Amino acid sequence: MPIDPYILLLLGTVGLATLVPARGTGAEVASGASTAAIAFLFFLYGARLSTREAMAGVKHWRLHVTVLACTFVLFPLLGLAARGLVPVFLTHPLYQGLLFLTLVPSTIQSSIAFTSMARGNVPAAICAGSFSSLVGIVLTPLLAAAVLGSGAGGFSADSLLQIVLQLLVPFVAGQLLRRWIGGFVTRHKKVLGLVDRGSILLVVYTAFSEGMVQGIWHQVSPARLAGLLVVEAVLLAVMLLVTWYGAKALRFGREDRIAIQFAGSKKSLAAGLPMASVLFGAHASLAVLPLMLFHQMQLMVCAVIAKRRARDPLPEVSPSAPAEASRTAVGTGTRSG
Task: Give residue 159's domain range.
Answer: 5-310
Where do runs of H (alpha helix) occur along the chain?
5-19, 24-48, 51-58, 61-69, 75-81, 92-103, 109-117, 122-147, 157-163, 169-187, 189-214, 222-249, 254-264, 269-280, 284-310, 321-328
pLDDT tens column, 236-259: 999 999 999 999 999 999 999 999
- Give the whole-number percent of the chain exceeding pLDDT 90: 25
Residues 6 or more apart in contact with residue 291 via CB below 8 angstroms: 97, 100, 101, 104, 267, 269, 272, 273, 276
Estimate the crossing angle of helix 92-103 against helix 284-310, to 10 degrees: 50
Q: Can you give the CATH number for the domain in which 101 is found? A: 1.20.1530.20
Do 301 and 236 form a contact (C-beta atoms < 8 A)?
yes
Q: What is the pTM of this model?
A: 0.78
Higher pLDDT, 323 or 240: 240
81 confidence band (pLDDT: 50, 70, 90): very high
The answer to the question of residue 301 being in a domain is yes
pLDDT at residue number 320: 44
Per-residue pLDDT, averaged over 159-170, amounts to: 76
Do 294 and 267 form a contact (C-beta atoms < 8 A)?
yes
The answer to the question of residue 334 being in a domain is no
**pLDDT for 113 beyond 90:** no
The answer to the question of residue 128 being in a domain is yes
Tell me the C-alpha distance between 215 and 208, whole Å: 10
pLDDT at residue number 69: 97
**pLDDT for 107 beyond 80:** yes
The answer to the question of residue 84 being in a domain is yes
**pLDDT for 328 beyond 50:** no
Q: Residue count of the chain, please give it.
A: 337
Highest mean pLDDT pick, 47-56, 130-139, 141-150: 130-139
> Among 53, 55, 46, 50, which residue's Cα sits nearest to residue 173?
46
**pLDDT for 323 beyond 70:** no
pLDDT at residue number 201: 83
Residues 6 or more apart in contact with residue 172 via CB below 8 angstroms: 46
The answer to the question of residue 39 being in a domain is yes
**pLDDT for 271 beyond 60:** yes
Higher pLDDT, 216 or 41: 41
**pLDDT for 119 beyond 60:** yes
The answer to the question of residue 318 being in a domain is no
End-to-end CA, the chain: 24
Distance of CA 111 to the CA centre of its chain: 10
pLDDT at residue number 75: 97
**pLDDT for 327 beyond 60:** no
Tell me the C-alpha distance between 262 and 267, whole Å: 10
Number of domains in the chain: 1
The answer to the question of residue 333 being in a domain is no
The answer to the question of residue 321 being in a domain is no
